[in-house]
Amino acid sequence: MTWQSIEGVRGMNQDAGSVYPGGERRLYKRIAKPFMTKFRILKDEPSQEDSASWDMVVVKNLGAGGILFNYDKKMDMGSLLDLKINFPASEQPIKCTGKVIRIEDTPHPSVVRIAAVFTEISEEEKAMINNLAEGFYSNRPGRIAP
C-alpha cells in the first residue's frame, strides 16, 4: 500500500515504535460507522471557481478533528473540501471545511482513501462529534467506560 501525506500537520506524533509512518496522528476518538457526506473541492486561487457539483461518499470514520473516506476520482494533496456531513445527532448536516492530508491506495485500483483534517468547523459541531465518539467507545461490549 502506498500513501502520501502532508508533513507537519497539527497533532502528528513522531513515535518511532509505531506501526504507522509518523506515529499516531489522532487527537480525537473516531467513529467507525458509515455517514453519508457530500463534498466539493474548493478553489485554490481567487481566479479559480469552486466546483459546482457535489460528490456523495460514505465516510469510513469520523472524528472531531477530521474525516476518512474512499473516493473514485483524482484529488490532489492539500485540496480544500467543502463538506456537508449527515450526522445522526443533528437535524441539519454538519457544514465544515477540510484539507486533504493523506491519500492512500486501496485494493481497488480506481479507488483511493482520502484523509482530511477539519480546518473550519464550529466548536459546537466539533463537541457533538466528539461526544458521540466518546459514547460510542464507552458503550462497546467488552469496553470498560473510564
Residue identified by cell 513515535 is 15
Q: Is 64 helix (H, G, I), strand (E, B) or coil?
A: coil
pLDDT confidence band for 3 (50 / 70 / 90): very low
What confidence score (pLDDT) does residue 7 get? 44
Which CATH architecture is the domain 29-138 placed in?
Answer: Beta Barrel (2.40)
> In this model, does residue 19 exceed pLDDT 80?
no
> In this model, does residue 85 exceed pLDDT 60?
yes
pTM: 0.73
Domain residue extents for the chain:
29-138
Counting Cβ atoms within 10 Å, is residue 141 exposed (0-12), middle (13-18) or buried (19+)?
exposed
> In this model, does residue 87 exceed pLDDT 70?
yes
User: CA-to-CA distance for 109 and 33, rounded, in angstroms?
Assistant: 24
Q: What average pLDDT does the structure give for the chain?
A: 78
What confidence score (pLDDT) does residue 25 get? 55
**Where is pLDDT greater, at 67 or 27?**
67
pLDDT confidence band for 35 (50 / 70 / 90): confident
Query: In sequence order, what are the residues at sequence separation of 6 or more whose Cβ sits closer than 8 angstroms to the Cβ of residue 58?
Result: 34, 35, 36, 37, 69, 70
